[in-house]
Chains A and B, each alone.
Chain A
Amino acid sequence: MHIVVCMKQVPRDNSVKITPDLGIDAEGIEKIINLFDEYAIEEGLVWNGKHGGKLTIVSLGESAWVEQQRRALAMGATDALLLSDPAFANLDVLGAARAITAAINKLGDVDLVFTGRNSTDDESGAFAPSLARLLGWSQLTYVGKVLDVDPAGKTIRAERHLETDIETVTAQLPAVVSVIKDINQPRYPSLLKIKKVAKVNPPVWGAADLGLGVSDLAPVVSLSTRVPPPPRPSGEMVEGADAAEKVKKLVVKLLENQVI
């Protein structure tokens, strides 16, 4: 079967700056595979290992993202594909999902897509459902365990981990599945494998390759302002001769200010 993992590159932490044109400046922060996507890659590898076929990493981003794609290849993915074009610069979620839908349709034989529940920078989690809908496939979001993938019967059985419940669901393939953190333990690629893929350059498809025009990519939501959060009111240190005195003072403050 052919499994696609949609993977994004993100900064390791979110100590980012806002640029004058409302962009995000993450310079100086290490770039990594979006953590939830790393779990998606591992889950893809597990089922690729059982059923064979291809495991393609698909990313929509700048050429520098190839670094993360190579890491995924070193983990064991068989193929990678980068969607990159100046026309993709300011896509909203729907636009990004349209581009990736076009790419998956062009690949043609994809049975299953894994991706992270959300990216740790944008954090919306809207991508996987948008992609599923545009592809016309079933969707399983917030999956904490894949119980079975049956390519012959064209089904996937999985647990969705909700706030307080676990929902066990069977969905028809093809499907888009978004995964949470504790679904598996992602493997570390060996140095040998990292070396082996160091010079791999995945194919790059642009808007024209995907048959997408300006109207296909026009945003339905756009940024009007982007600001840092208001600073927290400054706090106070609770002083005291020893731990006992500090604790007594702390509890008095919490009671006086009706915190408890």
Chain B
Amino acid sequence: MPGIWVYIEQVGNDIAAISRELLGKGRVLADSTGQQLGALVLAGQAGSLAERAFAFGADVACVVEDAALAQYTTDGYVAAVAALIKEHQPDMLLMGASFQMRDFGSALAAELGVGVAVDATDVKIEGGVISAVRPSHGGNVINTLNFADARPAIIVVRKQSFAEAAEQPGRSGAVVTGAMPATTIRTAVESVAPKTGAVNLTDASIIVTGGRGLGSPENYQKLIPPLAEAFGGAYGASRAVVDAGWVPYEHQVGQTGKTVSPKLYVACGVSGAIQHLAGMRTSRNIVAINKDPDAPIFRVATYGVVGDVNDVLPLLTEEMKQRTGR
């Protein structure tokens, strides 16, 4: 049986991007240690998820299909996977760091008495030692955690940490089915409703953020969403403006908001308090626009523009609209 397992997340009828990333990384780890790569599929109806996992590098799919698994519950998922793990004894289980999987990975680790690393950005196996790299303290500290001998090592991986596996159409593998063990599920999910005006900032490749330098909520609304639209991105906010009630919490980037790592982060009138930097410092490119040339945000900026947001932002919106036709 495979030593390295990847939990397969479902989007529509296909496997999620994060699962393709983890299959890519899992394949490398499996090859370097001479192990097989397993895909862990839990679903009400598994459809073609196992086949899709084979196409992206899995050798074996462990599939548990049960009506109780159609909706995520901690009790149901922990029971199903704990039983599979006891039977097959994998060394490692990788999953993506969504809220549900943070809930699941941590609970499963405690259930089994094994270690868990949440929000990992890298995974290694060297000389039989499994380790995970995870940032803490708002990205100011990068920790490498070694797992003790208890197996499996459970690693909940931050999105966009690895390259996605390339698809190999026609690649096949073996399916192993598992049974849903008898268990009491103590939570009843009544409804799952999309958030109104939901923004998945974590998934956005361009984010335009407004801070206190905008001066007023009216100014924020006038300047930030249109600029985000011109860039084809989402809009975020600093804690100061969220706490002042200008924008819902949903949009907050930083230590007590969201941690984002887009291709482009445009910080407008954001001074760059350490709590804000914690949420965006790993962005690939950062544009900072601020009238104070000494603002700390300029220290992390790829491109800095010293100027009044009231002058710069409408011009930037116009320029982007012309360039992109949006």
Partner-B contacts on A (CB < 8 A) = 13-16, 18, 24, 35-36, 92-94, 97, 120-134, 138-142, 160-172, 181-182, 218-229, 232-233, 235-238, 243-244, 246-248, 250-251, 253-255, 257, 259-260
- Find out whether the CB atom of A167 lies under 8 angstroms from the CB atom of B192: yes
Contact yes or no, A224 B131, CB < 8 A: yes
Interface of A is mostly: mixed
A163 near B136 (CB under 8 angstroms)?
Answer: no
A97, A124, A243, A253: residue with the most chain B Cβ atoms closer than 10 Å: A243
* A140, closest chain B residue (CB): B187
Q: Which residues of B contact A235 (CB under 8 A)?
A: 286, 298, 300-304
Q: Is the CB of A163 within 8 A of B202?
A: yes
Smallest CB-CB A-B distances: 9 pairs: A129-B106, A221-B115, A220-B115, A126-B106, A133-B110, A14-B138, A129-B107, A130-B110, A14-B137
24 sampled A-B residue pairs with Cβ under 8 A: A16-B137, A123-B119, A124-B117, A124-B136, A129-B74, A129-B110, A133-B110, A164-B194, A164-B195, A164-B198, A165-B192, A167-B192, A168-B189, A168-B192, A168-B193, A171-B188, A220-B115, A222-B148, A223-B143, A228-B142, A229-B135, A229-B141, A247-B316, A259-B284
* Segment of B23-31, B34-42, B168-176, B306-314 engaged in the interface with chain A: B306-314
Contact A163 B98, CB 8 Å, known A139-B74, A172-B186, A221-B116: yes
> CB distance A169 to B187 under 8 Å?
yes
Cα distance, A122 to B257, chains bound together (Å)? 15
Question: Which chain A residue shows the least CB distance to B263?
Answer: A259
The answer to whether B116 and A126 have CB atoms under 8 Å apart is yes
Quick one: which of B202, B275, B308 contacts A13, CB cutoff 8 A? B275
Known: A126-B102, A223-B143, A237-B298. 14 other contacts (CB 8 A): A14-B141, A97-B110, A125-B106, A164-B194, A165-B193, A169-B188, A170-B188, A181-B256, A221-B147, A222-B148, A233-B302, A238-B305, A247-B315, A259-B285
Q: Chain B contacts of A160 at CB under 8 A?
A: 99
CB closest chain-B residue, reference A167: B192
B229 within 8 A of A: no
Q: Are A250 and B118 in contact (CB under 8 A)?
A: no
CA A109 to CA B186, docked complex, whole Å? 20
Number of interface residues of B (CB under 8 A): 90
Contact B117 A221 (CB under 8 A): yes
Majority secondary structure, B binding face: mixed
With both beta carbons as reference points, the residue of chain A lying nearest to B120 in the complex is identified as A124
Cβ of B256 and Cβ of A35 under 8 Å apart? Answer: yes
Whether A226 pairs with B189 at a CB distance below 8 angstroms is: no
Contact between A226 and B305, CB atoms less than 8 A apart: no
B306 lies within 8 A of A222 (CB): no
The answer on a CB contact under 8 Å between B319 and A125 is no
